Amino acid sequence: MKNLRSSLRQRMMRQLRSGFSLVEVTLATGITAIAITSVLGLVPQGLANVRQAGNLHAESHITRHLLGNMAQSPWSLAAGQDNLVSKFNNKRFYFDDQGIEMGATEARTSGWLAYVAEVKVPPQDVVLPSSGIGSTAQAGPVNDPYLRRVTVKVASIGDPDFDFDNGPRLAIRSHTTLIARAGR
């Protein structure tokens, strides 16, 4: 019995010291290679998603910035002129890669230009339905003096002279919204 125990113990010790067989090492290496290849295959897609999310964030920041400036501006001047049209319509604004506004000369010389935005302010055309009840009811639709339709086009391109009408459509995002007057 003692002899049997000692021979079993010797066999177990020999197996523990012997390590892995060539087949086991080959299988482990193959499984590891497949796993690493799968993970590395996902890296380009993840980087593209991060880049796209950064662009969307910067473009939404630019749009919010411009719309906020327009809502806070006086909509009409003392002489009754439409200030939004004169100050913002068909104007270009330049932004860096973080969506921070820069001047036109800085945009042309600094090399940091990443986005160009163009604003369109059509004539007042927002009409809300009225009930027609009461003495203040008017015949026909009346433009709302506190709402304005605005379109902001943002191009993720570093060319300050970018042509929004004939440029590549994939580089342009157009945001049309109504703004409410917050200024005078």
Domain layout of the chain by residue ranges: 30-180
Tens-digit pLDDT profile for residues 3-12 = 777 777 777 7
**Whole-prediction pTM value?**
0.72
Between 5 and 75, the more confident residue is: 75
According to the model, what pLDDT value does residue 83 have? 85
Distance from C-alpha of 9 to C-alpha of 125, rounded to nearest angstrom: 94
- In 80-172, which ranges are continuous DSSP H helix? 83-88, 104-109
pLDDT band, very low/low/confident/very high, at 88 (cuts 50, 70, 90): very high
According to the model, what pLDDT value does residue 33 have? 95
Closest C-alpha to 179, from 121, 94, 109, 99? 121
Mean pLDDT over all residues of the chain?
86
Tokens representing 69 are: 């400036």
The yes-or-no verdict on residue 45 having pLDDT over 60 is: yes
Distance from C-alpha of 159 to C-alpha of 144, rounded to nearest angstrom: 37
Task: Tokens 């086009």: give the residue.
Answer: 153
According to the model, what pLDDT value does residue 80 have? 75
pLDDT band, very low/low/confident/very high, at 86 (cuts 50, 70, 90): confident
